[in-house]
Each structure stands twice: as structure tokens, then as C-alpha cells.
Amino acid sequence: MEIIENYSLKRYNTFGIEGIARYFGRFTNEEELAELIERSGRHDMMFLGGGSNILFTKNYDGYVFRNEIMGIDVVKEDLEHIYVKAGAGENWHKLVMYCIERNLAGLENLSLIPGSVGASPMQNIGAYGVEIKDVFEQLEAYSIKDKKLFTFSHADCEFGYRESIFKNRYKSQFVITHVVFRLNKNPVYHTSYGAIQEELEKMNQDLSIQAISQAVINIRQSKLPDPAVIGNAGSFFKNPTVAGEDYLRLQHSYPTIPGYPQTDGRVKLAAGWMIEQAGWKGYRKGDAGCHEKQALVLVNYGNATGKEIYDLSSAIKESVHKKFGVELEREVNII
């Protein structure tokens, strides 16, 4: 396997930001992964998938290894479910389409999310009322320290809102190689979130996982920029949660503020709404901007640097905190 020196990462991150890896390599199976780790001497390492949740603000003075483990297969079946195993390097939307074409329900609301399969449980990605934890069965991950594969169950992953054990306690200790999803033979439709129901009515189609997937694709394409055209990493900030009494105080000052009650009594707020109210929607300075249709998405219009995108995110955080007293947290990983 080749390890290349001073390698450009521009085409391996959806922001389209230039960043140079001191060393770069690819792996297509666990054996190649283990060999690359050994050859690195266990110096600074970073593992890339689809590059859809990362912002390079500087070059990486270490080893960057790209996960290209492929394959999608049905591994078992029971009365209600079919279990699909996918390589971590597979394109996420390709997996969604694989399941929809076979009438396997559960992933349709997660259509057209950029990125790779391996990042999905790490981030516990979610959209339109569905999260990975709802369809996750187990995953395999290679331990850098122990030099062997481990299997993680649903409970092992400690899923939270855009969180898992791999983003905190086990950060940089494991490399996800395969993920198994539990798909439904009989669909349970999720159409109440966002504009799905409205879009389905416009489409005038019978309710199905295919129709829901197309509705989600239509909605995403109508308001979110295509990373192949305008560099972005999707939602840049997490939706924050506040105490119930804090939400009531905010609602007194801002009667139209959206709020989504949680089971613990807290209320989830819409980060995009607050950013828009703070005046950032459509903002642009140079090639760094806040998208004109979705304030939650920061964009690179061509030649923005990672630092310019980061500085814009800092200004947005400060502005929202000053206006609402709410602290936004970046969802995108900053390098």
C-alpha cells in the first residue's frame, strides 16, 4: 500500500477546503488498516470517510487514512426484520437506495444525507424524525490500541443527539469498519416532521417508503446546497436544548420561537431559526457565507479558507448568544 507525502485533501472534504496531509493512504479492509497504522508508527493519525462533517482550518501534520471498505449484504432475517451489513466506506445515500429498492424500511427519512456509512453511527445522524439509533443493530470497529476488531451493540454505542461513544470517551481509539442495520419488512411511516406531509400531498403518490424518500430528496434539494456545487458540510450547528422555564422566558420575548419538548422536560430549539433572526441568513463575506435558503448551513462559495468559515461560525455563535442567551455548539469537526 502506498503512503503519499504532502497530499491535498481538497477533494476529500465536502467544504472543498484546501488542506495538506503530511502523509496520506487508503485502506479497503481491516488487514490494510492494521498495516497502515503500524507503518505510521502510531504518530498523529486521522481517519476520513466521506469528509462531510469536517472543516480543515490548517494542514494536518500527520497521517490521514481514508476508509474505503465497501460492500452491502443481507446477513440475516427474522419474522419482522432484515439485517443489512455495509462497509464503512460505502456512500450513505447508496445504502439508503439499496434498502429502498428492496422494500426494506427504516432509512427512507435519511435519504440524500452526504457522507459515508461509517460516520452514521459515530454522529448518530438524523433527519425528519429518524435517527440512526432507531435502525442500528451493531457495528465492528478496529481498536488501535489492542490491534483487533470489537463488536459494539446498540447499548455499547451510548447514542445521544448527534453523539455516540466514538465522539467522546472512545474518540480516536477505534476505526469503524462495518455497520449492521435492522430494517423493517413492514414499514412504520414517519411523515409528521418538517414538510414531508405537505410534499407528499404535492407529489400525489400513495404512501410508501419510496414516496417518503423522494419527498425528503425533494425537500433537501430545494433548500440545501449540493456540496458538489457549493462547498458545505450540511448543518454546521446542533439544535440546542434549554430548560423548560428558559424556553418560556424566550417565548415571552419571541412569541414565534419554535420549541420541541423533550422527554426530560427540556425544550429543543431550532438553531437555524435563531441564526436567521440574528440576521445571518444569506450573509456573505468573500467566499465564506451563510446559505440564502438555510441559515444553519455555512458555505464555501469557491475559495474560502477553513479559518474564514470558522471565524464566521464564531461570529454567528457570539451574535446568537447576545440576542437569545443561548450557546450554539458546532456539529462539524474542526481540524
DSSP-derived letter for residue 10 is G
Q: What is the pLDDT of residues 299-318, one digit of tens each?
A: 999 899 999 999 999 999 99
Q: Of 66, 235, 308, 313, which residue is the catalytic one?
A: 235
Residues 81 and 58 in one domain: no
Residues 79 and 171 in one domain: yes
The answer to whether residue 153 is catalytic is: no
Q: Provide the pLDDT confidence category of residue 194 given band limits of 50, 70 and 90.
A: low
52 within domain boundaries: yes
d(CA 155, CA 169): 14
Q: Which domain holds residue 159?
A: 72-184
Q: In 3D, which of 251, 113, 99, 268 has the Cα closest to residue 187? A: 99
DSSP-derived letter for residue 89 is T
Place of cell 469537526: 333
d(CA 209, CA 184): 11
Q: Of 66, 162, 182, 330, which residue is the catalytic one?
A: 162
Place of cell 451493540: 153
DSSP-derived letter for residue 164 is -
Give the HSE-up count for residue 8: Cα atoms under 13 Å, Cβ half-sphere. Answer: 5
Furthest CA-CA distance within the chain: 61
CATH of the domain at 170: 3.30.465.10
Q: Provide the pLDDT confidence category of residue 240 given band limits of 50, 70 and 90.
A: very high
Q: What is the pLDDT of residues 71-126, one digit of tens each?
A: 999 999 999 999 999 999 999 999 999 999 999 999 999 999 888 999 899 989 88
Residue 128 pLDDT: 84
Amino acid letter at 3? I
Residues 78 and 165 in one domain: yes
CB 175 within 8 A of CB 47: yes
The answer to whether residue 213 is catalytic is: no
Domain count, the chain: 3
Last residue of a domain, one of 28, 49, 67: 67
Residues 178 and 244 in one domain: no
The answer to whether residue 331 is catalytic is: yes
39 within domain boundaries: yes
d(CA 14, CA 178): 22
Q: Could you give phi then psi for residue 326, rounded to 5 degrees?
A: -115, 135
CATH of the domain at 23: 3.30.43.10
